[in-house]
Amino acid sequence: MTKRRSVTALAAGAAFTLLLTACGGDDDSDSSGSDTTTDDSGSENSDTDNGDAEEGGQGSLTVGGADFTEMSVMQEIYKALLENAGYDVSIQTASNREIYAEALVGGEIDVVPEYAATFGEYLNVQANGPDAPTDSPVATTDAAETVEATRPLAEEEGLVLLEPAEAASQNGFAVSAEFAQENDLETLSDLAELGEPLVFAAVEECPDRPFCQPGLESTYGLEFSEMLPLGFSSPQTKQAVADGEADLGLVGTTDGTLEGLGLVLLEDDQELQLADNLVPVLNEEVAGDQAAVDALNELSDVLTTEDLAALNAAVDAERQLPEDVASAYLEEKGLL
């Protein structure tokens, strides 16, 4: 008995400390975060029929998809847009594409934000087997082409892809701002012109991935003296580039923390990377719904990679809530 009591006391003590210790660093973003959280009270319990709103702007929709920061922000943006168009919207996440894609096909989820190339090849594998992406790829470096090639595959599953945004979440290649300025670098081609062997911080599999080391060598003629297996856009990779331990780092193009660490992205001017542009994917029952389609396409017209990076940074660095970040962005763009 006494043993258990001391364990309880210990845990209670830990919780108490948690409640009492402030973490400082107060800034306005946090308070604005809590202000708007109450706004969505009406949208929680929207369990009525799905997608039966023929005359636009009625009925309830479920926005879904993966649950990492970028997707959370995109889901909140979709939700705000669709609510603005008159729908009741709820969000239902899942941790894997295999799961939420199936829920989307089944109609349990109505709308999912996706990456064009990745989703295209996912459907390609589903339809044509695991070798399809190499044998008959649908994804190219062009977003419109990729979406066009994916549409027939999506149609077979009862899914519809809307227009892709300019924003793309791809492999990005970062150098330190200092290094870029000294050598007047803006693109990966500029970097190749230096003709120096580089230390490259990236994922362990980078030497085997066509869009990583082999692609950089064959497309740009870059040479590498050493590979540091520090992960994709991980804090370690970014720190290594910032500290000068690595010349080049593999990061996400929408990573919002790059600027703060003194890193800049080099443009993929030879278009090595596939077009992982953000594109709304709808269940076909909802896709007949013009109000919903229009609302989502409006976003694709304005969303850029820089916007997405800033939105990610607001959540991951400034610790604002995705829904606040989303509505602030839409208001700024005049979409609400």
Partner 1 sequence: MTRNDWICREYVESRSDLIVDALREHVVITVMSVAIGFVVSILLALTIRRWRRLAAPIFGTSTVLYTIPSIAMFALLFTVTGLTVTTVVIGLVLYSLTILVRGILTGLDGVPADVREAAVGMGHDGVRLLLKVELPLALPTIFAALRVTAVSTVALTTLGVLVGHGGLGQLIFQGLQSNFRAEVLTASVLCVLLALVADLVLVGAQRLGTPWRRTVS
Q: Give the one residue of 6, 27, 196, 221 binding partner 1; rule: CB under 8 A.
A: 27
- Residue 317 binds to partner 1 (criterion: CB under 8 A): yes
Shortest Å, Cβ 149 to partner 1: 29
- Residue 17 binds to partner 1 (criterion: CB under 8 A): yes
Could you tell me which residues come within 8 angstroms of residue 310 by beta carbon, excluding any fewer than 6 positions away?
A: 256
- Residue 177 binds to partner 1 (criterion: CB under 8 A): no
- Residue 72 binds to partner 1 (criterion: CB under 8 A): yes
- Cα 195 to Cα 99, 183, 188, 256, 279, distances in angstroms: 46, 12, 12, 29, 37
Shortest Å, Cβ 171 to partner 1: 19
Contact code string over 211-250 relative to partner 1, x by CB under 8 A: ------------------------x---------------
Shortest Å, Cβ 291 to partner 1: 25
Q: Output 98 or 131, the one with its CB closest to partner 1.
A: 98
- Residue 99 binds to partner 1 (criterion: CB under 8 A): yes
Size, binding site for partner 1 by CB under 8 A? 50
Shortest Å, Cβ 35 to partner 1: 10
Shortest Å, Cβ 53 to partner 1: 21
- Residue 316 binds to partner 1 (criterion: CB under 8 A): yes
Give the range of 93-101, 193-201, 243-251, 302-310 binding partner 1 by CB under 8 A. 93-101
- Residue 13 binds to partner 1 (criterion: CB under 8 A): no
- Residue 2 binds to partner 1 (criterion: CB under 8 A): no
Q: Give the one residue of 94, 123, 174, 309 binding partner 1; rule: CB under 8 A.
A: 94
- Residue 42 binds to partner 1 (criterion: CB under 8 A): no
Contact set with partner 1 (CB under 8 A)? 4, 7-8, 11-12, 14-15, 17-27, 29-31, 33-34, 37-38, 64, 67-69, 72, 92-96, 98-100, 102-103, 106, 108-109, 235, 315-319, 321
